[in-house]
Amino acid sequence: MVKYIFVTGGVLSSVGKGIVTSSVGKMLQFRGFSVTAIKMDPYVNVDAGTMNPYVHGEVFVTEDGGETDLDLGWYERFLDINLSKENNITTGQVYQAVIEKERRGDFLGKCVQIIPHVTDEIKFRIRSAAEKSGADVVLTECGGTVGDIEGLPFLEAIRQMRLEEGYENTLYMHVALVPILDVTSEMKTKPLQHSVNELRRIGIQPDIIVARCAKMINRDVLDKISLFGTIPKEAVFCSYNVSTIYKVPLILEEQGMGDYMCRRLGLTFNYLNIDEMERWKKFVESIENCKHAVRIALVGKYAGLADSYVSMNEALRHAGTACDAQVLIDYIEAEAFEENPKKISDLKYYDGIFIPYGFGPRGSLGKIMAIRFAREHNIPFLGICYGFQLAVVEFARNICGLEGANSTEIDENTQHPVIDLMPEQHWMTYKGATMRLGAHKIVVKEGTLAHKLYGAVEIYERHRHRYEVNPEYIDTFEKHGLVFSGKSPDGRRMEILELPDKFFFFASQFHGEFKSRPGRPDPEYYGFIKSCLDRKQDKEKQEF
Ligand code: GLN
């Protein structure tokens, strides 16, 4: 019998529900259970692909090409599983499906309503994702905060699931903020109490409460939460601020949460997956005890919101941990270099320059300036997607002498469209889910840096783009020393570039960060951080 854990949030969004959900999954894996995780997003968008990363954070791309909420990234990283686009359910998808069915005549004669038609569709989607995964336990996180109008059908659907699946197979977990008042340092539970009341009003009584607080909450306050929440004292836990989020499963485990959940769901285990727990603990320890440090300049367009680059941040740090190096990232607005070109020389203080994904003209010149600086000063450089495309533009302008070379995304009328729309994109008018998405095969050229890093001649990496290197210019680039060390199997699409005479100059059309996992860094990120560290140590030796 499949067990379902439903996670709701109270008081505020962004209190770390996604991390708690991932940690719950991790604690179950420590006990040898297989898990999957679903995120329900009550917004009307069909997927996250059309949303501004500056507001909503990055769009996470799944192996099967889903453009999903960034929480799926946390689930994948914590649980080391590949999820499908079906693991992200949105209001847009649900209504689209219900309306399509109505038009087809599936509900002939009926008045189509939120209950049961919309809620049935939500339950159907949860169950089918559960079934496809074959997992023992299915975690379903409901986005937003209890009390949001748009979240109601989702909460109603999970309320019904208890009736249908049974008490012993369902568990409601509520994660809510406990703020600390500045003046008195008091931990205030009132907002949490109200959010529990709101949940009860719709018919859901939580089984577990996770109080999210800056500090560990003392026993009396936890007991108060138990009293007002009408749940046993041992069912209240605290997720407090920790030095690394990968520690959250361990602090919840310490409070007995793993055992409590299993008892409550009748999940019997005769062994703890000690290996996995040990591996996780070691990883956490290695993050905290890095001997070295490297400083990276991330030159981007959404630099003000770290969540815009969350998978990239994590991939850089996974790579750092593997090199025994803490990775310090400075987020630099690319436009700052355009406004004040002299500022570019600040980049010489960094051990590495990283150009992330991006869209549109804003800041593109600043990024090109940063790439040129990296190339000319032989500072390790990694470019991802837009970073790859702009590295091609920079090379075209400054090495191949193609004056005014550009991407047609930036200048439609450029004389040298070195980056251009992929042919199949020309007729594309719809913006939703029409990019080149998800995992595609890449053939890696033997004897190149890419080959060394990946240790394979065939790899699969995740994509999200509309533009590509214009095949008409490939000859020119190669003649001038640019090596395309990864290509699509038909050889038409450029996937990886490198400059062999540089310390580390590497860029990819794909996004390695989506496959990076704690303890198993992605090869391109690893190669980058390793050379940042090597170069830094070389420099230090010379200075010494
Ligand atoms: N804007 C570029 C494209 O659409 C790059 C996209 C990206 O960086 N993910 O091809």
Average pLDDT, integer, range 432-445 = 95
Whether residues 152 and 92 fall in one domain = yes
Whether residues 43 and 76 fall in one domain = yes
What separation in angstroms does the CA of 91 have from each of 83, 84, 95, 202, 455? 19, 17, 6, 19, 42
Beta bridge pairs of residue 381: 353, 505
Per-residue pLDDT, 430: 87
Taking each helix axis as running N to C, give the angle between helix 119-133 and helix 152-165, from 0 to 180 degrees, rounded to the nearest 10: 60
Beta bridge pairs of residue 364: none
What separation in angstroms does the CA of 196 have from each of 155, 169, 219, 233, 239? 13, 21, 19, 15, 17
Pocket test for ligand 1, best of 465, 470, 508 (most atoms within 8 A of CB): 465
Domain end, chosen from 260, 284, 308, is at: 284
Per-residue pLDDT, 15: 83
CA-wise closest residue to 505 among 404, 386, 376 = 376
Distance 381 CA to ligand 1 centre (A): 18
* Residue range 17-33, pLDDT digits in tens: 999 999 999 999 999 99
Q: Answer whether residue 271 shows pLDDT above 80.
A: no
Average pLDDT, integer, range 340-369 = 97
436, containing H or E segment? strand 436-444
463 in catalytic set? no
Predicted TM-score (pTM) of this structure:
0.96
Whether residues 299 and 440 fall in one domain = yes
Q: How confident is the model at residue 410 (pLDDT cuts 50, 70, 90)?
A: very high
Per-residue pLDDT, 306: 78
- Give the C-alpha separation, 513 to 523, whole Å: 9
Distance 436 CA to ligand 1 centre (A): 10
Whether residues 316 and 422 fall in one domain = yes
Whether residues 140 and 60 fall in one domain = yes
Residue of 12 and 332 predicted with greater confidence? 332
* Residue range 447-484, pLDDT digits in tens: 999 999 999 999 999 999 999 999 999 999 999 999 99
* Residue range 27-71, pLDDT digits in tens: 999 999 999 999 999 999 999 998 888 888 899 999 999 999 999
Q: Answer whether residue 429 shows pLDDT above 90.
A: no
Whether residues 319 and 250 fall in one domain = no
Whether residues 341 and 216 fall in one domain = no
Residues 6+ apart with CB under 8 A from 191: 10, 11, 176, 177, 178, 179
Residue of 303 and 525 predicted with greater confidence? 525
Domain end, chosen from 231, 255, 284, is at: 284
What would the two tokens of residue 215 be? Answer: 């500090």
What would the two tokens of residue 386 be? Answer: 């837009």
Average pLDDT, integer, range 259-279 = 89
Pairing state of beta strands 381-384 and 436-444?
Answer: unpaired
- CA-nearest residue, atom 8 of ligand 1: 357
Domain end, chosen from 239, 264, 284, is at: 284
301 lines ligand 1 (CB under 6 A): no
Sequence-ordered alpha helix ranges (H) in 146-238:
152-165, 190-201, 219-229
416 lines ligand 1 (CB under 6 A): no
Specify the CATH number for the domain of residue 106: 3.40.50.300
Whether residues 162 and 310 fall in one domain = no
510 lines ligand 1 (CB under 6 A): no
511 in catalytic set? yes
Atom from ligand 1 closest to the CA of residue 464: 9
* Residue range 294-338, pLDDT digits in tens: 999 999 988 778 789 999 999 999 999 999 999 999 999 999 999
- Number of domains within the chain: 2
Distance 463 CA to ligand 1 centre (A): 9
- Give the C-alpha separation, 28 to 24, whole Å: 6
Whether residues 111 and 221 fall in one domain = yes
| CA pseudo-torsion sign 97, 100, 106, 112 | positive
Residue range of the domain that includes 358: 290-543
Specify the CATH number for the domain of residue 380: 3.40.50.880
420 lines ligand 1 (CB under 6 A): no
What would the two tokens of residue 41 be? Answer: 């997003």
Average pLDDT, integer, range 276-292 = 95
- Give the C-alpha separation, 381 to 379, whole Å: 6
Distance 384 CA to ligand 1 centre (A): 9
Whether residues 278 and 418 fall in one domain = no
Q: Which of 385, 416, 440, 532 is catalytic?
A: 385
- CA-nearest residue, atom 5 of ligand 1: 386
Atom from ligand 1 closest to the CA of residue 409: 1
436 lines ligand 1 (CB under 6 A): no
Atom from ligand 1 closest to the CA of residue 385: 8
Q: Which of 117, 262, 511, 524 is catalytic?
A: 511
Whether residues 308 and 261 fall in one domain = no
* Residue range 212-226, pLDDT digits in tens: 999 999 999 999 999
End-to-end Cα separation, the chain, in angstroms: 65
Per-residue pLDDT, 125: 98
| Residue showing tokens 């439609």 | 412
Q: Cα angle vertex 198, ends 195, 202, to 5°? A: 145
CA-wise closest residue to 356 among 392, 382, 395, 318 = 382
Whether residues 135 and 180 fall in one domain = yes
Pocket test for ligand 1, best of 386, 422, 495 (most atoms within 8 A of CB): 386
Residues 6+ apart with CB under 8 A from 52: none
Q: How confident is the model at residue 269 (pLDDT cuts 50, 70, 90)?
A: confident
Averaged pLDDT of the chain: 95
* Residue range 177-193, pLDDT digits in tens: 999 998 888 999 999 99
Pocket test for ligand 1, best of 298, 357, 384 (most atoms within 8 A of CB): 357
385 in catalytic set? yes
CA-wise closest residue to 40 among 193, 189, 155 = 155
Torsions phi, psi for 348 (to 5 deg): -70, -15
Per-residue pLDDT, 240: 97
